[in-house]
A and B are shown apart, each in its own frame.
Chain A
Amino acid sequence: MRIKEKVLNWWLFCLMLIVAFIMLVPFFWMFSTSLKSLGEVFEYPPKWIPRQPHWENYARVWSVVPFGRYLLNSVIVSGSITLLHLLVASLSAFAFARLNFPGRDKLFLLYLATLMVPGQVTMIPNFILIKLLRLTDTYTGLILPNVFTAFGVFLLRQFFMTIPKDYEDAARIDGASRFYIYSRIILPLSVPALSTLAVFTFVFQWNNLLWPLVVVSKDSMKTVTIGLASFQGMYGTTWNLLMAAAVIGVLPSIVAFLIGQRFLIKGITLTGLKA
């Protein structure tokens, strides 16, 4: 039995090697192509490793389009949405989880119901509104409509409900305000849930294509995703430059993933245990 297990694990290991190869080969191919000269790109059979790395492809991409600006815009937009969403969602979740008021459960249900409505339904009116307010091509226009989603309210409310009431009773007796309880007791105890929500929101917004596509036309306001899409429009088959751009596009995600993986999984398991 033991030996049978070991043999099976060995076979599964080999199978997983093939799977991992398929999953990672596009990344490798992207990087490899990004370092080739255009002549080498169209060589047959395809070469895995370029004869000599053409790092200047990156310099060319950087000089043709303002990728630094795109990255900065993405950081500003995704970062602001994440911070605002965390603030607004935690305030609302505190009211839903910790306070009593007439109509509370009905209102919460109404929030939950909006989770079923696909983003495309609200996108059209929101575009019209942003356009009427002359907020297209602005950070406000990119940020504001994405701050309000019920997902965070729901997640944090569930988490807040699991924090024992005793923790705040002592503070209550000392005459602490509700805002004090929210900011000094509930929030510090909810760091795992808050960080998980922050990571998910940030990644989701970083990768968002449709909304920036709709509200941005000025080059200086483009985010990474639409910057990549329009770069592809300009350099349709200049594969080495396209792949260099794609590498720039995935690198922040990969770095964040490598740094945050342990922390992220810890966050998920922690929330999973508590919720």
Chain B
Amino acid sequence: MTLRRKETLAAWLFLLPGFVGFAIFVFGAVVFSSVLSFFEWDMLTKPTFVGLRNFTKLFLEDKTFHLVFRNTLWFVLGTVPTRVLLGLIFALILVRNIPGRTFFRAAIFLPVIIPTVAAAMVWRWIFNADFGLLNDFLYQIGVSNLPRWLSDPKWALVAIMILSVWKDVGFSTVMFMAGLQSIPTTMYEAAKLDGANAWKTFVRITMPLLSPTTFFVIVINVISSFQVFDQAYVLTGGGPGNATNTIVYYIYNNAFQWFRMGYAAAIAWVLFGIIFIATFVQFRYQRKWVYYE
């Protein structure tokens, strides 16, 4: 055996355990899932081929899907800018030499690591319309028309957004802090010598040099927000009506409550398409504002 052959063999031995698993649970699953999306199957009777029926139904007829798509889109538009902006502000403050910054960073990051289920349980209690902490606070400051957070279709999605921002703002904060700390201090010294004020320094130095981090934080936040599920499952169960039903929740219901496997697979692929397009557009657009050294 030649040396090259030996190395190839060795490489495949290293790859084998991972490759077998990938072939079954990832590559195989992707292929199977795409085939499945052209079938109707309840896991009891034989699958029937329906061509593009699942997709045409999804796009043209299924009003519930249109609703869950809108809900999810509102959720993304509501939470991503908030999380990114607040994360940036917190990070800008926390890289300064203020007292107690280690404590503040820990306080902001703590919700990130706890299970969303547990977080949603507490917030369900906080959002309680009659005995909840939030409405009590709003009452104290003089709000008369107290929202019935979780049972009012107008407010339920907002409640989920508030919980999600609280839960995940720490991730953006920590990423921004790392990004800010990697900007060389010589840049700021040069700006100072040139007599730039704080605002100018921020716009001309901090923002451009931080833009790769900002880009990364936005992309990750958009991808994960499109997959929102846990919050809605625990806080509202998708209700009232379908007011907080999301795409992933709809996939879950179709596949594991109603056993419409083919239809669920089709929705999952549409979700992939949505995330792919959203990410692709951002990558396309980044040349206009992301600054790479």
On chain A, the residues within 8 Å of B121 by CB distance are: 30, 228, 232, 242-243, 245-246, 249
Shortest Cβ distance from residue A225 to the other chain B in the assembled complex, whole angstroms: 5
Partner of B98, one of A16, A88, A94: A16
Q: B-facing mask of A84-124, CB < 8 A → 1, else 0?
A: 00011101101100011110100100110010111111111
Partner of B30, one of A42, A92, A114, A232: A114
Interface residues of B (CB under 8 A from A): 4, 7-8, 10-12, 14-15, 17-19, 21-22, 24-30, 32-33, 36, 43, 90, 93-94, 96-101, 103-104, 106-111, 113-119, 121-126, 128, 131, 133, 136, 166, 170, 178, 223, 226-227, 229-230, 233-234, 248, 251-252, 255-256, 261, 264-265, 268-269, 271-272, 275-276, 279
Measured between beta carbons, the chain B residues less than 8 angstroms from A261 are 106
Partner of A254 from B17, B114, B122, B133 at Cβ < 8 Å? B114
Q: Are B28 and A125 in contact (CB under 8 A)?
A: yes
- When chains A and B are docked, how far (Å) is the Cα of A100 from the Cα of B248? 40
Give Cα distance in the complex from A20 to B107, angstroms. Answer: 6
Q: Which of A54-62, A140-148, A189-197 contacts B (4 or more CB under 8 A)?
A: A140-148
Query: CB within 8 Å of B: which of A153-172?
Result: 153
By the criterion CB–CB under 8 Å, are A91 and B15 in contact? yes
Q: List 28 A-B contacts (CB under 8 A).
A: A9-B97, A12-B96, A13-B98, A16-B90, A23-B110, A23-B170, A26-B126, A29-B122, A42-B131, A101-B12, A116-B275, A117-B26, A118-B275, A121-B268, A124-B33, A124-B255, A124-B265, A125-B28, A144-B25, A147-B25, A178-B10, A206-B115, A207-B115, A214-B252, A224-B115, A243-B125, A245-B121, A249-B118
Name the distance in Å between A120's Cβ and chain B's nearest Cβ.
5
Task: Report the Cα distance A52→B26, complex, angstroms.
Answer: 53
Q: Within 8 Å of chain B (Cβ to Cβ): is A263? A: no
Do B178 and A253 have beta carbons less than 8 Å apart? Answer: no
Chain A proximity of B76: nearest CB distance (Å): 14
Residue A22 interfacial (CB < 8 Å): yes
The chain B residue sitting closest to A41, CB to CB, is B131
Residue from A104, A111, A117, A246 in contact with B118 in the complex, judged by beta carbons closer than 8 Å: A246
Q: For B265, what are the chain A residues with a Cβ–Cβ distance below 8 Å? A: 121, 124-125
**CB of A266, distance to nearest CB on chain B (Å):** 13
Question: Once the chains bind, are B97 and A121 in contact (CB under 8 Å)?
Answer: no
A19 touching B108 in the complex, CB below 8 Å, given contacts A124-B261, A127-B255: yes
B197 to chain A, nearest CB (A): 12
Q: CA–CA, A226 to B223, complex, Å?
A: 24
Contact of B125 among A116, A147, A207, A242 (CB under 8 A): A242
A129 in the interface, Cβ–Cβ < 8 Å? Answer: yes
Q: Which A residues are in CB contact (< 8 Å) with B271?
A: 118, 120-121
Confirm or deny: A72 has a beta carbon within 8 angstroms of a beta carbon on chain B: no
| Residues from chain A with Cβ under 8 Å of B256 in the complex | 127, 213-214
The contact of A23 among B14, B107, B252, B268, by CB within 8 Å, is B107
Pick from A88, A94, A126, A213: contact of B29, CB below 8 A: A126
Decide if A45 is an interface residue (CB 8 Å cutoff): yes
Instruction: Please give, as numbers and ranges, the residues of chain B lying within 8 Å of A254 by CB-CB distance.
Output: 110, 114
Tell me the smallest distance from the CB of A152 to a CB of chain B, in Å: 9
Q: How far is the CB of A154 from chain B (nearest CB, A)?
A: 12
Complex interface bits, A247-262 against B, C-beta within 8 A gives 1, otherwise 0: 0011001101100010
